[in-house]
A = this chain, B = another copy of it.
Amino acid sequence: MKNLLIIGGGTGSYTILKGLKAYSDRYKLTAIVSMMDSGGDTGKLRDEYGILPPGDVRRCLVALSEESDLIKKLFQYRFSSGSLKGKNFGNIFLTALSDITGSDEQAIKETGNILKIKGRVIPVTLDNVDLCAKLEDGSVIHGESNIDIPKHNPELRIKQVFLKPKAKANPDAVDAILNADAIIIGPGDLYTSIIPNFLVAGIPEAVCGCKAEKIYICNLMTKYGETHHLSASEHVKALKKFAKIKCLDNVIVNNGEPSHELLKEYAKEHSFPVSYDVKELYELGVKKVIEADIMNKQVLIRHNPERVAAEVVRIIGM
């Protein structure tokens, strides 16, 4: 049974895990999740209870869960009124278990058992750190949520990202990397979900030093204030520069086309399809570029879990 490792965070990891769970009788699935999220309910719980940010962990746990739809719904449930307004049930669950068990790691493991997950979810670090970004005008933004939902001029490019204070890798994460047969990076917000994992000391070294086939799943759309105007090659360049990942074997890019109506909606948010140039990608040292229609086209432009999983399976074999 091959070990499949997904490195990411946010809805990207949720999507790909959901797709790959259908193959969990053939692959052992492990998700490494970035721990720098500081926004919304997650950020508030982190501040108030000193726990690791629960949001992305919770999403991955739900994606891998074999529990009933009701339980999965419950874990994603967010209160819409009253004194619990804005609070997510799964986050509350992880916060309470962290206090009872005395450890965030233990809370994640126990929640995994309760949700009957097929696989493992591992925080990339157990250190409490914040993500910072330096823009091309020299200004520095502190906190993931301030980069994610920019208050800065979104036309300015990100020139540097770093953690404050420095973080060391969770030994379980390094172990999982060293035992992986394939490592899937992305999809997800490049600077706020993907790269933060590789800013943790020990992670890029383990990824590039291990035997696993490395696959990067490129985003479908650009994000204003984060990846504005960036092509697929520029995503790969950013991974090289900021994440120190110079060892990508495969890059999956989307060649599906959203409807004009949907594109118009996204354009209002200054979000555009990520363009790609196959030749350029090969010149960056990628061994194989896979062009495929891997998108959903209804309501939101998102990766289609089944299609992405099928492409991954085609690359790594059974």
Contacts and interface: CB of A to CB of B under 8 A. Distances in A.
Contact of A95 (B44, B84, B95, B101): B84
A72 to B, nearest CB: 11
B73 A100 contact: yes
B114 A81 contact: no
A48 interface: yes
Given A71-B114, A74-B93, 6 more contacts: A48-B83, A49-B81, A73-B100, A77-B100, A79-B96, A89-B93
A27 B93 CA distance: 33
Interface residues of A, number: 26
B84 A97 contact: no
A96 B114 contact: no
A96 B83 contact: no
A82 interface: yes
Nearest to A106: B70
Nearest to A75: B96
Contacts of A140: none
Contacts of A82: 45, 48-49
Nearest to A80: B99
Contact of A48 (B81, B95, B110): B81
Interface in A34-88: 44-45, 48-49, 70-71, 73-74, 77, 79, 81-84, 87
For chain A, what secondary structure do more than half of its interface residues adopt (helix, strand, loop), or is it mixed?
helix
6 contacts: A45-B82, A49-B82, A70-B101, A77-B99, A84-B92, A92-B92
Interface string A142-177: 000000000000000000000000000000000000
A177 B73 CA distance: 35
A76 to B, nearest CB: 10
A77 B98 CA distance: 12
A74 B73 CA distance: 19
Interface in A219-249: none
